[in-house]
Amino acid sequence: MSEPDAEPDHITVYSDYVCPFCYLGRESLRQYQATRDEELDIDWHPFDLRSHKRRPDGSIDFSVEDGKDDDYYEQAKEGVRRLQDKYGVEMDLDIATDIDSLPAQVASFYVKGQYDNDTWLEFDVAIFDALWQEGKDIGDEDLLVELAEDAGVEGDEVRSALSDDALFAEVREQFAEAQRHGVTGVPTFAYDGYAARGAVPPEQLERLVDGV
């Protein structure tokens, strides 16, 4: 995979909030960051796992077959349970198959572009926690406004972003760009032209960034 414009003080992360392994991967990154003298900024890129199910209006057609049956989801839950134990994470094991993460990704993309990295990161973590800790619908506008305001973002700005067709189009282009750069699944971590895929352990992230 190729990663454009890599910077030594940034790690690029492709993720979708509705993906439990992205939540676990973020915890792995947090644990790796805790070992560093200087924290890496996160250059986050949204990725829509359900793009193939979207209608022209952006809504999800859940009738579209994707080959993921009950056995697939049970295996996914087993994988989540193993990584929960490994990373010491408590989370809701119900895979969020019926929640649309696109509004959360649009809101997060807006905040990332308009606010400083710390504010975005607080919002980003809050979205993940709302879904995987509290089982909330991160596709709900009122919830996203509440989470944004808690992070220091003007709620009206988020409401405006979520009604901005041009911003939605820009986020969809981000999905397409990720695919052009070889991202086929999430989470994907990229640094200086190299990538690690999946909720890899902190020591693998260390090897990715520090070559250790």
In the sheet that 188-191 helps form, which strands lie side by side, from edge to edge?
41-46, 10-15, 188-191, 194-197
Angstrom distances, CA of residue 72 to CA of 52, 65, 68, 81: 18, 13, 5, 14
pLDDT given for residue 96 in this prediction: 61
pLDDT given for residue 212 in this prediction: 62
pLDDT string in tens for the chain (212-residue length): 544 444 458 999 999 999 999 999 999 999 999 999 998 999 999 999 988 888 888 888 878 877 676 786 788 888 889 999 999 998 887 666 689 999 999 999 999 999 999 999 999 999 999 999 999 999 999 999 999 999 999 999 999 999 999 999 999 999 999 999 999 999 999 999 999 999 999 999 999 998 86
CA angle 114, 199, 1 (to 5 degrees): 75
pLDDT given for residue 211 in this prediction: 85
The residue behind tokens 């895929």 is 197
Give Rg (Cα) of the chain. 17
- Global pTM? 0.89
